[in-house]
Amino acid sequence: MRYGQYCPVAKAAEVLGERWTLLIVRDVMEGAHRFNDLYAGLPGISRTLLSGRLRQLVGDGLLERREANGHPEYWLTPLGLDLQPAVFALGEWAVRNYGGDPGRDELNPEVLMLWIERHVNRDALPDGRLVARFEFRGSRQHTRAWLVSQDHSPRVCHDDPRFEVDLVVASDVRTLHLVFAGRLAMSAALREGSIALEGTMQARRSFTRWFGYSPFATAAREALAG
């Protein structure tokens, strides 16, 4: 959309205001760089549209398309990196002003697992391999997902990797989402049993250290406390 106004806000709206664009930028900021990785994190978008939007973002100078290990990857340019504070300001505004639980249509275990993967504290992962199985119970959703970490590099898969499982995390999508978002304390969820861990003491301890939170979790906690 061109607005025909010589105004920085209009320019920002031209570049970021198309459907999905801001979410694509967010995902790249949070560590999604491959086409199918972005695609998986944006249920509802079509491959055609994602492809078009990526081309626009490259054209507008926010993203750079690189060839890496034989595959295209999308990375923020300096111009795109410079946008980070503004995207955070928008998100923090939303956190402060639109509290509330996820709607039914916002409970998606696949997307949640992607987000968890992207925010894992890699330093806190054990050396070698770690396999955690997430089990989602709930109304209609009882899905499983495996988070497999090899040498501090986590990867989610939805088919049994047939490795020995070090840790089972049993919860429902809503609870795990609330914890990830910073709206429910992990300690409280563990205490009340809405998240249950199964594994050695060490594996359970480790979990609370490598499990990472939404970049807006701090703001959410502040909003809840304030």
Partner DNA sequence: CAGTATCCTCGAGGATACTG
Give residues in contact with DNA (CB under 7 A).
18-19, 34-37, 44-49, 51-52, 54-55, 65, 71-74
Distance CA 148, CA 24 (A): 25
Interacting residue with its own copies among 68, 94, 185, 196 (CB under 8 A): 94
Residue 59 site contact among its own copies, DNA, none (CB < 5 to 8 Å, cut-off depends on kind): none
Residue 71 site contact among its own copies, DNA, none (CB < 5 to 8 Å, cut-off depends on kind): DNA
Residue 61 site contact among DNA, its own copies, none (CB < 5 to 8 Å, cut-off depends on kind): its own copies
51 or 187: CB nearest DNA: 51
Distance CA 192, CA 114 (A): 25
Q: Residue 70, Cα to own-chain centre: how many angstroms?
A: 25
Residue ranges in the chain assigned as alpha helix (H):
8-16, 21-29, 35-40, 47-59, 78-81, 84-97, 109-119, 173-181, 186-192, 201-210, 217-225
Residue 6 site contact among DNA, its own copies, none (CB < 5 to 8 Å, cut-off depends on kind): its own copies
35 or 88: CB nearest DNA: 35
- Tell me if 92 contacts its own copies by CB under 8 A: yes
DSSP strand pairing (167-172 vs 129-137): parallel
3-state SS, residue 105: helix
Stretch that binds its own copies, among 99-107, 142-150, 151-159, 196-204 (CB under 8 A): 99-107
- Tell me if 222 contacts its own copies by CB under 8 A: no
Structure tokens at 218: 């701090």
Backbone phi, psi, residue 140, to 5°: -115, -15
- Tell me if 225 contacts its own copies by CB under 8 A: no
CB of 16 to DNA, least distance (A): 13
Among 58, 56, 57, 26, residue whose Cα is nearest residue 42: 26
Distance CA 183, CA 145 (A): 23
Interacting residue with its own copies among 26, 53, 118, 119 (CB under 8 A): 26
Decide if 130 contacts 149 (C-beta within 8 A). Answer: yes
Among 71, 90, 69, 73, residue whose Cα is nearest residue 16: 90
- Tell me if 48 contacts its own copies by CB under 8 A: no
CB of 68 to DNA, least distance (A): 9
Residues that bind its own copies (CB under 8 A): 1-13, 15-17, 19-20, 22-23, 26, 43-44, 61, 79, 82-83, 85-87, 89-98, 102-103, 105-108, 111, 177, 181, 214, 216, 219
